[in-house]
Structures are given as C-alpha cells and as structure tokens.
Amino acid sequence: MYQISVEQHFDAAHFLRGYRGKCEALHGHRFRVVVRIESSGLDDIGLAYDFSELKQHLAEVISRFDHTCVNDVPPFDQINPSSENIAATIYEELKPKLTGVSIVGVEVWESPQTGVVYSPD
Ligand SMILES: [Zn+2]
C-alpha cells in the first residue's frame, strides 16, 4: 500500500458564528491543506498517483476560497467555516475527482500549532 501526500494553502479570512472568544471576530489565516491518498498498486512507470495531478485537483477545490472571507463562500455562508468543516468540505469535493484511489485524510492547519484531520468513517 502506498500513501501519497500533497500540500497546498490558501489565504483567507473567516470568523466563527456562535463562538465565544477571539475567533468570533473576523481574522485571517494561511490555511495549509494536506491531502493524503492511498493506492494499492503502481502504474507502469512506478507511480501510485501523479503528484501534479493530485495538486491540480486540490487547487481546483480550494482556489475558490483563496483571498476571500470564507464565510461568504458556499457552503460556509450556511455552515461555520471551522477547520473541521473546511476539511470535510474539501474531502467531499475532492472525492469524485479521484478515481482508483481513496482519500485517507484531509488536514487543515490554521497555524503551525493548530490543525484538524478529517478522515472518512
Ligand atoms: Zn480562525
């Protein structure tokens, strides 16, 4: 079994509705996103999955969040743009773009010290 990871980021503002604390005020992060996928086999040139293809799929998903207030971008106009919800949303949007591999987890890091990993049940 092979696990392949790529990392990208987007810069955005957000605030947490209903949260009592500093994060209820508008603030920004460089959201670091790490996607890890799993493949049991290799193709005929020895790759489990093409890194650049995976990066391209991830970029398609997260580009709409870059330089926005994430609270204005669906579905986060309806649900809170917590790192947990952002990670699950990226997972759901990335999943149909990937064939022949499964997503092990999507990590969203708000800072070097604080991050979330979403993995499917
Ligand atoms: Zn935040």
CATH number of the domain that 87 lies in? 3.30.479.10
Which residue segment(s) compose the domain that 91 sits in? 2-118
What's the CA angle centered on 68, arms 92 and 96, to 5 degrees? 15
Rounded CA separation 81/104 (Å): 22
For the chain, give the mean pLDDT.
96
Q: Residue 115: which pLDDT band, with cuts at 50, 70 and 90?
A: very high
Catalytic residue list: 23, 67, 110
Of 34-38, 96-100, 109-113, which gets the smallest average pLDDT?
96-100
How far is the centre of ligand 1, averaged over its atoms, from the C-alpha of 29 (Å)?
6
**How many structural domains is the chain composed of?**
1
CB contact at 8 A, 50 and 42? no
How far is the centre of ligand 1, averaged over its atoms, from the C-alpha of 105 (Å)?
20
How far is the centre of ligand 1, averaged over its atoms, from the C-alpha of 71 (Å)?
11
CB contact at 8 A, 102 and 85? no
Q: pTM for this structure?
A: 0.95
Rounded CA separation 81/88 (Å): 11
Rounded to 10°, the helix 83-94/51-62 angle is 120
